[in-house]
Structure 1
Amino acid sequence: MDNDYGYVDGNAAAGPLQELLAVEATTVEGQCTSCGRTSMLADTRVYFGGPGLVMRCRGCGAELLSLVTTPTTTRLDVSGLTCLTFPLEA
């Protein structure tokens, strides 16, 4: 449906996001908001404890990502990353 603002609701992104998020997570590259270092998530330092895990930048130690799972939800916080780059299968 067209509207004055040229947008549709978030359901329109379901297909593309499903395709994007179904990748090998360790090959995804992230850029640290603190120091600007870019590396694959496999190159981070991962700390387990409490209800989840924390990924920290190998360059400066800043928190990049946290993943917490409870009995009813999973929360992914990527506020320590300026962007994520997902490799596409050829």
Structure 2
Amino acid sequence: MTIVDGNALAGDLVEVLGIDATSARLCCAGCGSTGLLALTRVHRTAMGSVARCRGCDTVLVTVVDTGAERWVGLPGARAVAAV
């Protein structure tokens, strides 16, 4: 497993969402803190990526690559704001 910052998700999210979402602000459902997706801590494996809150380690964003499809989830993001 490799740990990087949220900027590592830029390419994956552009492919799915059509925009660079790393400048979006996320509100963590775990601790209520707000911060840029680019500043999250991202755990990467061959199966995909998990972006976690730096404050409480809640899973904010998941990106799973099945080979044929790429799935994005926002399980721990209470709200998302475009910047």
TM-score normalized with structure 1 length: 0.68
Is 1:54 the counterpart of 2:50 in the alignment?
Answer: yes
Change (3 A) 1:75 1:38: same
Q: Which residue of 2 aligns with 1:70?
A: 66
Question: Aligned pair 1:79/2:75, yes or no?
Answer: yes
TM-score by length of 2: 0.74
Please identify the structure whose Cα radius of gyration is greater: 1
- The match for 2:10 is none
Percentage of pairs with the same residue? 34
Q: Which has the higher contact order (CA 8 A, sep 6+)?
A: 2
Q: Distance in 1 between matches of 2:65 and 2:18?
A: 18
Cα distance in 1 for residues equivalent to 2:58 and 2:46: 18
1:60 maps to a residue whose letter is C
1:30 to 26, 29, 51: 26
Report the Cα offset of residue 25 of structure 1: 1.7
Structure 1 residues 77 and 54: alpha-carbon distance in aligned structure 2, compared to 1, 3 A threshold: same
Matched AA of 1:79: P
Aligned length: 67
Matches of 1:82 and 1:75 in 2, distance apart? 19
CA distance in 1, matches of 2:32, 2:18: 26
Consecutive unaligned residues of structure 1, counting only runs of 5 or more, are 1-20
How far apart, CA to CA, are the structure 2 residues paired with 1:65 and 1:27?
Answer: 14
Name the residue aligned to 1:41: 37
